[in-house]
Structure 1
Amino acid sequence: MCAVRRAVDEGELSVTVPGRAVVTSPGPGGCGDYASNIALQLARPAGQPPLQVAEVLRPYLLAADGVTDVVVTGPGFLNISLQSDAPVALVEEILRRGKRYGYAHGPDAQPLVRLHAPHEVRAVVVMDATARILRSQGAFVRTGCEARIEPEWADILGVRVDGHGTPATPALFLRPAAAPVDPLPLGRDAARWALLHPAPHDRPRLGQRL
């Protein structure tokens, strides 16, 4: 997207910078390490043929770190070659594993980790994030809250709690500094970032300027 943004900033393309670009292995007739159809995606909004859009983007891609060559093939596919010491294997692993990248397999006899939080929105979000990290590393985690969470916390903030009430067995109790105002109007991403970014003992900022 940096190449597209630079081309737009320089006035060579008049388009809205898309949120994402598809990068795959080169298809038949392609070359290099990776290929993208971003020029075909932008051709119609730019009012230019895909080949012309590809030629506009090519020098900006060549200027990127780690890129050694960019070849335009077919109707406007951009084929990208990386330096031999570039982390090609790492990129391939990330693409292969997708959302599961970074997850680890836990031991066969893994202990149960119990987390518990008061009925407060920041505490529940911190507990949810902690549980996600532990689960990604193979731990078996069960979460609980002093009372049933508000439906909006699950719908908007994406938190999940396994149970509510007083834990029957000892649990790690998470009690960060409480949120001073309702974070829900910020939406999921901004609210979770605002609640999780400060240290647990610091009060989060939830105003218009995060």
Structure 2
Amino acid sequence: MPESVTVERSKNKDFGDYATNVALQLAKPAGKPPREVAGLVAPRLAETAGISKVDIAGPGFLNITLDAASAGELARVVVEAGESYGRSDSFKGLKINLEFVSANPTGPIHIGGVRWAAVGDSLARILKAAGADVSTEYYINDAGVQIDKFGSSLMAAANGRPVPEDGYVGAYINDIAAEIVAAEPGIVDRPEAEQKQVFTETGLRLMVAEIQRSMEEFGTHFDVWFSEKSLHDSGAVEKAIERLRAQGHVYDDNGAIWLRTTDFGDDKDRVLIKGDGETTYFASDAAYYLDKRDRGNEVCVYMLGADHHGYVGRLKAIVACAGDDPEHNIEVLIGQFVKMLRDGEEIRMSKRAGNIITIDDVVEWIGVDAARYSLARSSTDSTITLDVNLLTSAKNENPVYYVQYAHTRMCGVKRKADERGIVRGEFKPELLADEYESALLSMIGEFPRIVAKAAELREPHHVARYLEELAGVFHRFYDNCRIMPMGDEPAGDLTYARMWLAEAAQTVVANGLNLLGVSAPERM
């Protein structure tokens, strides 16, 4: 017998409810043609309770059709499973560290970071639903030259001087500077070195707090806020270099310390410590990866912006130099750019940040639900455009509205039943035999596979696209299959069966929206 047998739901109802290639798998060990093996297996399968017929197709595929009672029983399974429907143990025992957003703490989160906030948080939820032990992490780049420039920019703003040419600009710089001056009276009268330290340290703390607030309001949770500075303060960077040296991949040349990453596919070796003794960002990256692994994470997932393609090879080289498997212990996902339109024109500027669109802008313009859903519904490989006018409209063309409206319709079934005093009675699944009922049952049954696929491929958009398809199937069912009885007619077995089916659909949509961090409203 094969180690595993593949059974999949048929996309076309004409080909039954399920299809399997087991006959093709058995053909070689049996020494018979696949169709001949299928001819032996089909009658045995057809004798199984709940199966109405088994057809042989193509080179030996078996198409299995369930009887109405067996197919309809899925509605009971879903309703009784509730929030757990769609979850699995596929990744049980796998500890994954998921790092995303990690924007420099020198300004508000920009639109690219907002995309990762939506996708990263959704991916964490999906991986957990597949059984993985997931820790989410934000890497705070609080060491290096950009932090120095940030402090200088704040100090200049507080003293009424122009921001340095390579500094940071925007209303937020003036806001933070003013907040520091209010909290530290007389700060601008102190020596510049002392001013610089206060503006840098306090400004960094305020900016990180601002980022944390934005993430919380966006529904994005991080288990760990990791400080780059802590790697240097704890001596972790030096220890990491020595560990890599012990692995045989660190060497000294021209007064600098290098990591021989070209041994593992990088285009050039990377400097860890410069000739003047300055530590590079790459050394921090190496120490950070080792720290993640030391914390017991088996797979480290990095979610980086479109301008970070060059980091992929060097990060994988760090993994290889550390003696790990770059094809297993690390995954690097790259997200493409996001544009926003209003009235057909691209929005390029933020009132607060100047030359970038911030997370607060996005939330103000379209709301958290629309932002999260629309940012997570497309593959991160593709550039996307968010249309403010569309995403704030109550139109079927607005994808988040379309799915949420379907959920309110599903909830409305129970609401109408309650208003008429109809209590869901005994469930007779064999009554769900109409083509629209069968189509809805088939879509509902796909949900666990979709969640598992999204987790395996690290692609939350599969869940969103599935929900849109499910919403369409439900709307057709709702429009063609009367659920509540007409007038004063009493509720019958078919009413109850369809109430079970509507609740099953509602359960799946609510579970799917939850995986995307989007609300499932009962009324709109």
Q: TM-score range by the shorter chain?
A: 0.3 to 0.5
Structure having greater relative contact order (Cα 8 Å, sep ≥ 6): 2
Q: Which has the higher helix share?
A: 2
* TM-score, normalisation: structure 1: 0.37
